Structure 1
Amino acid sequence: MAHTLAHGFADPVHEGQAVFRAAMDALSRPGQIRPLATTLAPPAPLIPELAALALALTDADTPVWLDAPLRAEPAVAAFLRFHTGAPLVDAPDRAAFALIADPARCPAFAAFSQGTPAYPDTSATLILAVETLSNSAGPAFAGPGIRGTAHLDAGPLPADWASRWAANHAAFPLGLDLLFVASARLAGLPRSARPVALEAMPCT
């Protein structure tokens, strides 16, 4: 475990800034897939891309919630505490960020902090590790940062994902922002992204 804990970003400042910028770009250009390269080797089931976003986006002031597969592996919590200092919380509604290794069993959006009318930015950001991530198919979205429409195929996701996202967008400016990661890829879906067609996102 000691070797694993010692392996964070080789260049924490520059690598962390690059991943942070990639995440912000992904949220400002909803649905557009961009590269996310990392040499991290975190303990499974924390994939490198999920770990990279955690290291770049969280710190001692950002509570983090882990889904069941990540909580089941003590080395994951040790890795995140060592490299980020982020407090790991038991309740989803206390988290600023949620790391989700099993997106098909993602908890209901209502379980997470939605923000408040005075402070909508206190809502949670969900970071989901998916197997499928492409722009070749999937539901269409429109809104700020999208020229025309953008298609995003991500999965596996819960069967009610389309209705979840429609309700999430309808609550704007409250609601959740999402980041999807897969092998060397990243895409964002902020709450401002409006579903053009309420078709279910494919599950793989």
Structure 2
Amino acid sequence: MRPLPGPAPAPGFADPVADSQRTFRALLDAIARPGTVARVGAAVAAPAPLSPAAAASLLTLVDFETPLWLDPAARAPEVDTWLRFHCGAPLVPDAAQARFALVAGPATALLPLDRFPAGDDAYPDRSATLIVLVADLRPGSGWRLTGPGIEDEARLAVDGLPAGFAAAWAANRALFPRGIDLFLAAGDRVAALPRTVRIEE
């Protein structure tokens, strides 16, 4: 294999098997119990603006078969090199082509949600999953969440999403069984919004 030009990319998982398993369990717990905040706990180095939770999620979920879209805030040469080296994911220029999307600047690049693939009634799994970098996640306050995986209600405050997100999410939820799913990453913590969850502000 020919070496990559320029400096070597930052390392990925310190222990690829154990760290990917640990991250997968955290992501599974987050999406099974919306409103909870899980700590990834995997040792991972990645270039800015990737947070540890976002980087670990990409290493766990994305591979050479999953077209990945990057928003403008994530389109740095170091990020491109790191993703190609560790994930092998094909980077696509259009959000409509993505199976996964990395949104590092949600205030300007997250909406409208309907430009991401929502699948179709026969194949709702052909939708996009978004990994969104946010400033903070605080369980126990903020939005009221209800839906599958939530016994009564859950509370989750999210800093860094654009105005109008809750309305856009209601439109996404109305597409069920179609629709996109979100992982919200802040530092080494992650929360999930599956398409079935209702948000009340």
Alignment of 1:51 with 2:51, yes or no, is no
Aligned to 1:61, what secondary structure does the other structure show? coil
2:3 — aligned with what? none
Residue 186 (1) aligns with residue 190 (2): yes
The Cα shift of 1:47 comes to 1.9
Q: Identify the residue that residue 38 of structure 1 maps to in structure 2.
A: 42
TM, length-normalised to structure 2:
0.93
SS at match of 2:162: coil
Q: Distance in 1 between matches of 2:93 and 2:48?
A: 20
1:142 counterpart = 2:146: yes
Give the distance between the partners of 2:124 and 2:106, measured in 1 at CA: 24
Judge conservation of contact 1:103–1:155 (CA < 8 Å) in 2.
no
1: CA distance, partners of 2:175 / 2:10: 42
1:111 aligned onto 2:115: yes
The question of whether the paired residues in 2 share the 8 Å contact of 1:58 and 1:86 is answered with: yes
Q: Deviations over 1:122-180 (max 9, x none)?
A: 10011111112011321111111101001111121111111011111111111110101
CA RMSD of aligned residues (A): 1.3
Query: After the TM superposition, which parts of structure 1 deviate over 3 Å for at least 4 consecutive aligned residues?
Result: none
1:95 paired with 2:105, answer no
Q: How far apart, CA to CA, are the structure 2 residues paired with 1:36 and 1:103?
A: 21
Normalising to structure 1: TM-score of the pair?
0.91
Gaps of 5+ in 1: 200-204
Whether the 8 Å CA contact 2:98–2:116 is kept in 1: the answer is yes
1:62-83 residue CA offsets vs partner (Å, 9 max, x unmatched): 1111110111x11101000000
Q: Structure 2, unaligned stretches of length 5 or more?
A: 1-5
**Aligned residues with identical type, % of pairs:** 48
Q: Which residue number in structure 1 is paired with residue 78 of structure 2?
A: 75
